Amino acid sequence: MAGLDTTSATIEWVMAELLHNPEKLSKTKRELEQVFGETGFEPEDSTISKLTYLQAVVKETLRLHPTAPILIHKSVSEVDICGFHVPKDAQVLVNVWSMGRDSDTWADPDSFVPERFLDNEKDFRGEDHGFIPFGSGRRMCPGVALANRIVHTVLASLLYHFDWKLADGEKSEDMDMTEKFSITLHKVKPLKTIPIRK
């Protein structure tokens, strides 16, 4: 269940951010046409790895809307952090949502700017402690590799095969992007879109 809910929530957030930012959607679709245009859609690891802008879009979405906004870790030893004493075996709640919007780490933290991930090495595999949507260390999500593959493949397929418009005549600038905090982070108003076969 954990893999289904988190994966579908991430895909919904990516689609919502792209439809809310049409210029980013156009840029993503152009990249898909460049990579798959001549050979046709073949979502293999070798071709998905060429989709650098789509990868940046997913990272930026995970920064703004981490699927699990609060991670629970257990301290393995006694430690002092920023003047706070953390005893061994204490449960520590890590606010990943707040980390992604920290202005000391991110320029213009509340804006959707996938380009910030094009020219740096930040990755979500737990090595960069300013960006850990899947956790880090021994408590890192064991499904990160599978989630990474599924999310990129599904998004590439949805965006390559279809054009999208918002339902009920909604305009991109009027979209409700309010978040609902729970174990996983969802949109308060679920995304409603209409696929248009190209």
Please check whether residue 155 lies inside any domain of the structure. yes
Please check whether residue 142 lies inside any domain of the structure. yes
User: Which stretch of 7-11, 25-29, 36-40, 53-57 has the lowest confidence by average pLDDT?
Assistant: 36-40
Query: Which DSSP symbol is given to 188?
Result: S
pLDDT of residue 3: 58
Please check whether residue 130 lies inside any domain of the structure. yes
User: Which stretch of 43-47, 75-79, 115-119, 174-178 has the lowest confidence by average pLDDT?
Assistant: 43-47
> How many domains does one find in the chain?
1
| 194, 188 contact by CB (below 8 A) | no
CB burial of residue 195 (10 Å; 0-12, 13-18, 19+): exposed
Confidence band (pLDDT; 50, 70, 90) for 13? very high
Cα separation, 136 vs 130, whole angstroms? 11
12 lies in which domain range? 2-67+99-197
Question: Of 41, 2, 40, 46, whose CA–CA distance to 155 is shortest?
Answer: 41
* Predicted confidence (pLDDT) per residue in 94-118, tens digit: 899 999 999 998 999 999 999 999 9
* Predicted confidence (pLDDT) per residue in 52-68, tens digit: 999 999 999 999 999 88
| 15, 177 contact by CB (below 8 A) | no
pTM of structure: 0.90
**CA atoms 70, 71, 74, 79: torsion sign:** negative
Query: Which DSSP symbol is given to 175?
Result: -
pLDDT of residue 2: 54
| 114, 128 contact by CB (below 8 A) | no
CATH number of the domain encompassing residue 178: 1.10.630.10
Please check whether residue 52 lies inside any domain of the structure. yes
E strands, 84-190, in order: 84-86, 91-95, 162-166, 179-180, 186-187
Confidence band (pLDDT; 50, 70, 90) for 124? low
160-172: average pLDDT: 94
Please check whether residue 72 lies inside any domain of the structure. no
